[in-house]
């Protein structure tokens, strides 16, 4: 397989001194790595018509090619080199050869100038060839140094080398292609996200291919949102979206585990659990400070004791975000991205799946999805029996079942007719939101306990907060019942 990594130019310069490469046979007689100059010029129309369609035109050494910028509907795992469409001696010849209509006029928009060197590494799983690209991205008004690594070799060998590079030189899965980064230099804006939201599952895929597609999509979402969630003064939405993507991917692992469960999948889930543990407190304090606290201060605007508690809460929020930043900047998070990208793009790990899972793996995808959804719906309905008499802890359990049902429905919905799936997910979302009001109360009580609770220096203000959220819980119960009854009235979209 091939896996692309990005790293700082300074770290790239130190690459040949790593023991990983020093132990390996040289790629050139005399012990020096092969190095050649490289210049790539990317072209588009003035209105960026090609980029709008997810493509860019590249010219290198007199040859022209169309490169993918964005995945679109294509199955393009994170870290995989960009798909290339066509190769011709001119743009006109490429247009004729591929039967495409290129926009006009075309003009250079950005370029790369630098060097590529070839290195080798030997692992227990086979040899890996590393192509190290170092140079500068240039546009009319700006330039930026850049470095990339392209690893080629057997699946497991590539994984071993990538993990070592993540630890040794800070290598990680890039958020965007080199061409997309070059366009960002030209426009002065960061490259757009490769993917956002829930995955669009291809109906014709096998169960294993569907899992790889979902992992690739949600890995892109995590790698886009997590660094933004860890940035100083990040908006709460970045933390929220990163957390949702992690939860969706962990749900996908649970959905597909009967067919693809193995050590590689378990290792990926462990990484995700660690990331979720870093995101959770940051998100809880974000919700408290941006939603619960303003509602309380609107009622008690001049209460000094409440203001002191909120100042302490703000410090806790900052500490939670600092912990998140430390995690996202750690080798562990870089390894998380590499392991997930590898899981999406590699195939050798399929051979490690226990044989008893083969029957599930070879089922038709729609039938597999319907069984998963029916099983989750049965558990959700069972949790909501006698909902009128359920105590708050049982309603929390119902909320968790509703959340798992919703994530499964969002992931598998593209396999079924759109209108009934939207209605099902919409009603489930309403129910989940109403049950979430109860959860907000439980979270607020936990946060108040962190600040000392009923016996600490903020006892009075903590009591005010607890009383406020408890009052909201009492008023939400009738709406929960109505949401549950409305949800039960609809037929499952997979039957």
453: left (phi over 0), alpha (psi -120 to 50) or beta: left
Is residue 488 scored above 70 in pLDDT? yes
Is residue 30 scored above 70 in pLDDT? no
Q: What is the pTM of this model?
A: 0.93
351: left (phi over 0), alpha (psi -120 to 50) or beta: alpha
Residues 304-331 have pLDDT tens digits of: 999 999 999 999 999 999 999 999 999 9
Q: Are 94 and 86 in contact (CB under 8 A)?
A: yes
Sketch out the chain's domains with CATH numbers: 2-187 (2.40.320), 210-356 (1.40.20.10), 364-495 (1.40.20.10)
Residues 101-153 have pLDDT tens digits of: 889 899 999 999 999 999 999 999 999 999 999 999 999 889 999 999 999 99
pLDDT at 4: 98
Separation between Cα atoms, residue 49 and residue 101, nearest integer Å: 11
* Cis peptide bond N-terminal to 177, omega within 30: no
pLDDT at 29: 41
Bridge partner residues of 34 (DSSP): 118
Backbone angles phi, psi at 87, to 5 degrees: -160, 120
- Terminal-residue alpha carbon distance, the chain: 39
Distances (CA, A) of 290 to 235, 283, 285, 287: 10, 10, 8, 5
**Cα dihedral 69→75→79→85 (10° resolution):** -50
DSSP string across 23-72? TSPPSSTTSPPEEEEEEEEEEE-TT-HHHHTTEEEEEETTEEEEEESS-T
| DSSP code, position 75 | -
Residues 368-388 have a mean pLDDT of 95
Backbone angles phi, psi at 368, to 5 degrees: -60, -45
Cβ partners under 8 Å of residue 80, min gap 6: 2, 3, 4, 341, 345
């Amino acid at each position: 397989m091939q896996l692309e990594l990005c790293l700082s130019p300074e770290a790239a310069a130190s690459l040949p001194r790593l023991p990983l490469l020093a132990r390996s046979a040289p790629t050139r007689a005399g012990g020096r790595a092969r190095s050649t100059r490289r210049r790539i010029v990317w072209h588009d129309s003035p209105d960026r018509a090609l980029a709008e369609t997810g493509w860019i035109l590249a010219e290198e050494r007199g040859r022209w090619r169309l490169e993918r910028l964005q995945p679109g509907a294509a199955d393009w795992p994170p870290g995989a080199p960009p798909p290339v469409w066509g190769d011709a001696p001119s743009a006109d010849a490429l247009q004729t050869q591929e039967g495409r209509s290129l926009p006009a006029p075309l003009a250079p928009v950005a370029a790369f100038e630098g060097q590529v060197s070839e290195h080798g590494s030997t692992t227990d799983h086979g040899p890996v060839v590393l192509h190290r690209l170092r140079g500068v991205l240039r546009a009319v008004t700006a330039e930026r140094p850049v470095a990339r690594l392209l690893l080629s070799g057997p699946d497991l060998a590539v994984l071993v080398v990538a993990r070592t590079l993540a630890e040794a030189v800070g290598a990680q899965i890039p958020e965007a292609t080199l061409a997309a980064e070059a366009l960002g230099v030209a426009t002065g804006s960061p490259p757009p996200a490769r993917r956002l939201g829930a995955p669009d599952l291809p109906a014709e895929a096998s169960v294993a291919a569907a899992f790889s597609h979902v992992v690739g999509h949600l890995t892109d979402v995590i790698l886009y949102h997590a660094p933004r969630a860890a940035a100083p003064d990040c908006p709460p939405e970045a933390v929220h979206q990163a957390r949702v993507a992690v939860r969706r991917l962990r749900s996908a692992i649970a959905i597909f585990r009967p067919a693809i469960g193995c050590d590689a999948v378990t290792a990926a889930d462990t990484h995700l659990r660690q990331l979720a543990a870093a995101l959770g407190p940051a998100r809880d304090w974000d919700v408290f400070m941006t939603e619960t606290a303003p509602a309380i201060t609107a009622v008690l605007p001049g209460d000094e004791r409440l203001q002191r508690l909120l100042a302490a809460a703000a410090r806790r929020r900052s500490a939670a975000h600092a912990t998140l930043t430390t995690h996202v900047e750690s080798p562990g998070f870089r390894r998380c991205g590499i392991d997930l990208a590898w899981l999406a793009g590699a195939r050798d790990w399929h051979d490690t799946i226990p044989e008893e899972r083969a029957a599930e793996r070879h089922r038709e995808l729609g039938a597999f999805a319907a069984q998963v959804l029916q099983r989750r719906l049965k558990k959700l309905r069972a949790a909501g029996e006698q909902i009128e008499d359920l105590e708050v802890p049982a309603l929390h359990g119902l909320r968790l079942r509703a959340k798992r049902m919703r994530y499964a429905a969002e992931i598998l919905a593209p396999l079924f007719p759109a209108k009934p799936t939207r209605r099902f997910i919409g009603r489930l979302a309403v129910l989940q939101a109403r049950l979430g009001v109860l959860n907000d109360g439980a979270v607020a009580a936990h946060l108040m306990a962190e600040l000392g609770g009923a016996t600490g220096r903020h006892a009075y203000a903590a009591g005010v907060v607890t009383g406020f959220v408890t009052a909201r819980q009492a008023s939400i119960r009738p709406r929960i019942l109505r949401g549950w009854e409305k949800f039960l009235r609809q037929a499952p979209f997979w039957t």
